[in-house]
Chain A
Amino acid sequence: MLHIYCPHCAEYRVETEFHAAGQAHIARPLDPEACSDQEWGEYLFFRKNPRGLHHELWVHAAGCRKFFNMTRDTQSYEIKEVYKVGEKPSVVDSPAQQKAMSMETVSEETVSGENMSGAQS
């Protein structure tokens, strides 16, 4: 069982008091009307599933009922840190891993961009 620190109660509590609420830091598009179907679909449905560091949203459901963020290693289950909503995580992937991640997204974008341009022409 995980032993989770609630940043609002300032105390460790057992996992059963909490609920995981999925990936953190998902920004709603500022102008939903201007989104393409793909952008809106990715905002609504597409979530990361990393092996390693993951930033998650949790809620202290049986306690103070407040949401907070957690950086957790999905491989070892180790909780690296908890921080309040609106704060930035201090534990993030190493630059090399981040680069690898951004390479993936870049290549995805290029592929989808090519598809789009192909459809237009």
Chain B
Amino acid sequence: MCGIVGLLLKNRAWHEQLGELATPMLQCMSTRGADSCGLAVFHRPLPLEKRRFSLYVADRDYDWQSFHAGFSSGTGGDARLESRFNHATEVTATPEADVRGWLRRSHPDVHLLSVGRVIDIFKDEGRPEEIAERFGFRDLQGTHAVGHTRMATESAVSPAHAHPFSAGQDFCLVHNGSLSNPYSVRRRLERRGIAFETDNDTEAGCRFLEWRMREGDTLEQAIEKSFRVLDGFYTFLMATADKMVLVRDPFACKPAVVAETADYVAVSSEFRSLAHLPGIREADVYEPAPEQIYSWTLSSNLTSRN
């Protein structure tokens, strides 16, 4: 069992309250998974040439200032640091490949969680309430957020195995369920030179979808293909720079509920974690159907159910 939550704010005036609204959703779902927790938050986009690099390290007293000094001189860019305990974000125009190379050489202990113009990922092993508090989820601002509380069933409990998983740029996925063929999917992708960081089933799903998008598919087209490739139980909640997308496996083995108002779209494993949202009593509350793609886009300020 795991818990998944997502919140996309259609009302721009609410962007400052993203963390305030999404954090209770996530904390409420700690009853579905209390061994790890994570949140992806999507900010206002950086200038075209800049990227956010979300970083994780095990040590909660890590010296990010000296890391930053090394990062700035080592990557040759003009970087900006935001840090909180064992999480930091470096904002820089240095290309991703150069940052990855420098991290590998100079700081193999620092784990790169995500890269993009808008995405930041926070995750760790431990109680969701404590993790949300430590990383200050309530203060986060942005357009949308996707979170996960994990109760591991198929691979180890570790910070790297926590969700969200990210591949490519500005894309993440959280998963409630378990895939039954992650290794065959993984072998298929590894033959194409795609590298994996964990033995987690969700990472296989995440990298499959990202590979299809790199090959030119939209996320929706990639999901259509995944119906024929991924076997197992899943409710997947995904996000890109301007979208939140939800899909359940053909048997609908894992739960999901959606609440929509003029101001937001909220998704959770259970209605319980949506009950605090403003206007929830008047919201359109429904259960997504099996094997149907539900996609909500920010830019048009319209929601579409495919």
A binds B: no
**Contact surface of A with B, Cβ cutoff 8 Å:** none
**Contact surface of B with A, Cβ cutoff 8 Å:** none
